[in-house]
Amino acid sequence: MRGIQQQLPEFQAAGIVPVAISVDPPEVSRDFASKAGLTFQILSDPDTKVIRNYHLLHSGGGPDGHDISRPAEFLLDPHRMVRWINLTEDIRVRARAKEMLAIAKNLH
């Protein structure tokens, strides 16, 4: 997420709106965003409705055994159609912001 923040002006110039979704309550996400210096929107999905819709639920995967989301990145078009997906089982393995930006630019 820090890479997205660092390249936020480039994403915005390309018409891309980064958004993150977390199982954490809104106040936890706000605190995390503040501490990490993130200025793009982080949505809260503590009931995991959206996370389940995208088949990303990792039941009991949290540090204290609570449900979390699998790491994933999606690029959606203006019609909310998923155009690109990156899924992983390892939270440390994520698509790089530069990679997502290049792919998003090629989707137009």
Q: Which pairing describes strands 19-22 and 41-44: parallel, antiparallel, or unpaired?
A: parallel
Asked if the 2-103 domain carries CATH number 3.40.30.10, the reply is: yes
d(CA 7, CA 79): 24
d(CA 26, CA 87): 24
d(CA 45, CA 24): 7
Give, for all 108 residues of the chain, the pLDDT tens digit: 889 999 999 988 888 888 888 889 999 999 999 999 999 999 999 999 999 998 888 888 888 888 888 888 888 877 888 888 888 877 677 888 898 889 888 876
Instruction: Give pLDDT, residue 67.
Output: 86
Contact 67, 45 (CB under 8 A): no
d(CA 7, CA 28): 24
Instruction: Give pLDDT, residue 39.
Output: 95
Instruction: Give pLDDT, residue 108.
Output: 65
Q: Which of 15, 16, 20 is nearest to 39 (CA)?
A: 20
Position of tokens 């923040």? Answer: 5
